[in-house]
Amino acid sequence: MTPDIHIHTHGAVGHLSLNRPKAIHALTLDMCRAMTVALQDWAKNDAVRAIILDHAEGRGFCAGGDITLLRRSALEDGGAEGRSFFAVEYRLNHLMFTYDKPIAAFMDGVTMGGGVGIALPSRYRIATERTRFAMPETGIGLICDVGGGWYLPRLPGRLGQFIGLTGARLDGAECLWAGIATHYMASDRLAEAKARIIADPDDIGAILDDCAQTAPPPRIAGNMEPINRLFAADEYETILDALTEDDGEWAQKELATLSSKSPTSCKAVLRQLQIGAEAADFAANMTMEYRAAGRILTRPDFAEGVRALLVDKDNDPHWQPATAAGVSTDDIEALFAPLPAQDEWKPL
């Protein structure tokens, strides 16, 4: 058992509480394994009727996955350890997505990357005034994995494409409006909600409904017209052209944002969301993401993106290729090609 996650039961409620505050509870391999074992055990235990997922302390729910491990793997072992991490993490995501018992994820604070992967498959997803939701992978040369290919294209309009490309952060009210969250409540009411769930887990939905509060107006709703218009294409160059031709302040701000992202990742994310939108089920989506994530991990942009963001912290990544025009359709399609049968991802 790892100290980075607290696993216990309160009567008929299983409780998973992330406990890695210095890393904003970013998921390690051991944390993913421990959560998987606990959920499998509780699935077979009739005495456990609901699950609470939260974080023990600190300023965020979960900031992502173990980027340090992934970068080391990309540089040292050709991505082998990284692919092993993805396989375990994605099986946890799928287990949660298909879980029979209700899981309530309390998305209080930073909820990004790998944190999205464990929050969104939960039946109940509670946002607060402190929620900061994002899929920022294009800034480090990855795709929006952990289920992003399933969730993002199913958001209103072209919001998913916008979020996936720009890494835009949504607050709690915006998460509720978009359907990312099922409930919104002030952070100072979370303890009450959890205590009531523990006292009566069979009434979890009604309890959360009762504790929920009216969210502030969602700012993102006012931007949906330009999002739907300017991010309408599935071709990255077409989106860049649309933003360039629009001299409005919002369009120019988003164009500047995209100029800092990996062109390879941006093209890969658009293709990922196309494939994910057509996936027969969540497992098919995760199979697709495993292929692409394992391959893009070893492209130059990932190690470079993490260097610029977390190692040297100069925020000046040098992408290869440096422009969208330099990334061919064949380059992108190769990321999503089937793996040898023995190497394909499979759910538990």
Catalytic residues: 65, 114, 137, 145
Query: What is the rounded CA–CA span in Å between residue 338 and residue 163?
Result: 27
CA dihedral 67, 299, 272, 36 (to 10 degrees): -30
Please enumerate in sequence order all residues whose Cβ is within 8 A of that of 329, keeping only pairs 6 or more positions apart, or say none.
none
CB atoms within 10 A of CB 23: 18
Tokens of 315: 């925020």
CB atoms within 10 A of CB 261: 24
Exposure pattern of 175-208 as b/e (b: 16+ CB <10 Å)? bbbbebbbbbbebeebeebbebbbeebeebbebb
Query: What is the rounded CA–CA span in Å between residue 154 and residue 23?
Result: 30
Supply φ then ψ for residue 292, to 5 degrees: -75, -40
What is the DSSP secondary-structure string of 40-55?
A: HHHHT-TT--EEEEEE
Q: Give the closest residue to 2 by CA, choosing from 23, 42, 41, 29.
A: 29
Q: Give the closest residue to 130 by CA, choosing from 64, 205, 190, 192.
A: 190
Quote helix, strand, coil % in the chain, to nearest 5: 55, 10, 35
